[in-house]
Amino acid sequence: MAKRENEKQEKSDITLDEVKESLDNLKNFIIKLERERREAEERRIAAESKVNELREMYARMIEEEKRKMKDRRKLIENEMKIIEMEWKRLRDAENLLNDAGRRIEEIETSPETDSIRTIADEIRRSEREIENAERYAREREKVLEKYRGEIEREWKEIRKMWERIEKEKIAIKEKKKLLDEEYKNIVDIKFQTIEDRNKLKRHIDEIERIKEGTLRELPRRISELDDILENWRKELRILEEERKRLQDEIRDALEKGPEEEKREMKERLDVLGRKLVEVKEMEGLMESDLELAKKYEEMAKRELSKVELDLMKLKAEHERRKKIDGEEKVIDIEPKRLETKKESKSEKKDKTHEEKIHEKGEGGHGRGGDKNDVKDVINHLIDLIDERGEVKAKDAAKILHVDASLISRWCEILEKKGIVEIEHPLIGSPVLRRGKNMDKISRVNKNVHVNS
Residues 6 or more apart whose CB falls under 8 angstroms from that of 321 comprise 29, 33, 196, 327
Residue 441: predicted pLDDT: 66
Higher-confidence residue of 35 and 240: namely 35
Q: Measure the CA–CA gap between 438 and 2, rounded to whole angstroms.
A: 36
| 400, 353 contact by CB (below 8 A) | yes
pLDDT at 13: 62
Q: Which of 29-43, 265-279, 320-334, 420-434 has the lowest mean pLDDT?
A: 320-334
Cβ 391 vs Cβ 384: under 8 Å? yes
Per DSSP, 65 falls in state H
210, 306 contact by CB (below 8 A): yes
For residues 104 and 434, give the distance between their C-alpha atoms in angstroms, rounded to a whole number.
129
Residue 353 has pLDDT above 60, yes or no: no
357: confidence class by pLDDT, cuts 50, 70, 90: very low
Average pLDDT of 322-333?
A: 47
Angle, helices 115-256/2-109, rounded to nearest 10 degrees? 170
172: pLDDT strictly greater than 80: yes
For residue 369, how far is the Cα from the chain centroid?
41
Give Cβ neighbours of residue 384 (< 8 Å, ≥ 6 apart).
346, 350, 353, 391, 396, 399, 400
pLDDT at 138 (0 to 100): 83
Record the pTM. 0.23
Nearest to 358 by CA among 373, 370, 343: 373
The answer on pLDDT for 348 being more than 70 is no
Strand order in the sheet with 431-434: 390-392, 431-434, 420-423
Give the CB-side neighbour count of residue 434, counting CA atoms within 13 A.
13
Amino acid present at 367: R
- pLDDT given at position 331: 36
C-alpha closest to that of 279 among 249, 245, 247, 234: 234
Q: What is the pLDDT of residues 183-236, one digit of tens each?
A: 787 777 777 777 777 776 776 677 667 666 666 666 666 667 667 767 777 777
Task: Kindly state the percentage of the chain with pLDDT values over 70.
Answer: 56
Q: Are 14 and 405 in contact (CB under 8 A)?
A: yes
- Residue range 89-148, pLDDT digits in tens: 888 887 887 887 777 677 666 666 556 667 777 777 878 888 888 888 788 888 888 878
pLDDT tens-digit map of 264-317: 666 766 776 666 666 666 666 666 666 666 666 666 666 656 656 666 666 666
Q: Per-residue pLDDT averaged across 327-354, rounded?
A: 41
